Copies of this chain bind each other. A is one copy, B any other.
Amino acid sequence: MLDVCLLGTGGMMPLLYRYLTSLMLRCDGSSLLIDCGEATQLAIKKAELPTKPIDYILFTHFHADHISGLPGLLLEMKNSDRVEPITIAGPKGIEHVVNSLRIIANELPFDIEFVELDDNDGFFDLKPYRIQYFKLKHKLTCIGYNVFNDRLPEFKVDKAKVNNVPLKYWNKLQHGITCTDKETGIVYEPSMVMGESRKGIKLTYLTDTRPCDNIYKFANDSDLFICEGMYGEDDKEQNAKKYLHMTMREACEIAVKTNPKEMWLTHYSPSVVKPKVYENDLKKIFKNVKICKDGEKKELNFED
């Protein structure tokens, strides 16, 4: 299960009626935040979510509208009496950038561990999340993320019995741990008690990019594809190309090819006052697109 809250939907600068784009995911009591522009701590308050359980913060890139709220958020977490370490991941230079910003937030009661991502693509674990990262196409290095919440295969009691697996090993085997019986020397593998692999949850988060090959390579078949749609009017495509962003139409055309269950648009230009007006036309391109407002929530569940 993945609890999703799109805290804000703005790009460039916070507005009185639209906070900057950032995403809060929650699973098993551990929260993961992607991006943290100025006033994200207000967006979190507005969504009535706690900051204390934020164990992980991922940054897509170092433009201010995606990171300037970090010092304030860290201090807010300090005021929430957090003492457990947090992990911050982002492009090359993440540790330097965060420490530079922390000149005004240097006394924290918790440690920060950094994950510096290279220019290629890959996976890393932030349990209970599994993260895939890949490079996008923006003015400076910008990273797209897939967040997976993997699902264990089903436990098969019949299979365990047929394979004569002692009851005392069932739990460990269910969680992927191979067991060896000290007395008999018999090795018990997880495959001896588990059924077929099962589809987990995949969420894709892309912002500040032109359409590019890596999107088609990595963003396929998501349960929820959250994508920038900086401009609503088609005649703004030149602006999108100039500033290395996307129009809402371009985002929907990507969805047609990558086949998500649902696409949420976000990161609207301040010039787009009422993004919702474009929704009907966009649905003709990709039916399951939603022009999100701040605080859009959804619970992603495993398939039955």
Contact = CB atoms under 8 A, between A and B. Distances in A.
Interface string A185-209: 0000000000000000000000000
A63 interface: yes
A162 interface: no
A19 B230 CA distance: 28
Nearest to A96: B103
A41 interface: yes
A104 B100 CA distance: 9
A5 interface: no
A interface: dominant SS: helix
Interface stretch (A70-78, A170-178, A273-281, A283-291): A70-78
B105 A64 contact: yes
Interface stretch (A7-15, A112-120, A128-136, A260-268): A7-15
The number of chain A residues touching the other chain, given as a range, is 20 to 34
A258 interface: no
A16 B72 contact: no
A38 interface: yes
A64 B68 contact: no
B69 A41 contact: no
Given A13-B76, A16-B46, A39-B38, A68 B67 contact: no
A42 B62 CA distance: 21
Contacts of A67: 104
A62 B104 contact: yes
Nearest to A104: B64
A127 interface: no
A15 B101 contact: no
A8 to B, nearest CB: 12
Given A101-B104, A104-B67, A72 B41 contact: no
Contact of A72 (B64, B100, B101): B64
Give the most central of A41, A67, A71, A72: most B CB within 10 Å: A72
A255 to B, nearest CB: 30
Given A12-B79, A46-B16, A38 B104 contact: no
Interface in A31-62: 37-39, 41-42, 45-46, 62
17 contacts: A13-B41, A14-B39, A14-B42, A16-B42, A16-B46, A38-B38, A38-B41, A39-B39, A39-B42, A63-B104, A64-B72, A64-B105, A65-B72, A67-B104, A97-B103, A100-B100, A100-B103
Given A38-B69, A63-B104, 13 more contacts: A12-B79, A13-B79, A14-B41, A14-B72, A38-B41, A39-B42, A64-B75, A65-B72, A68-B71, A68-B104, A96-B103, A97-B104, A100-B100
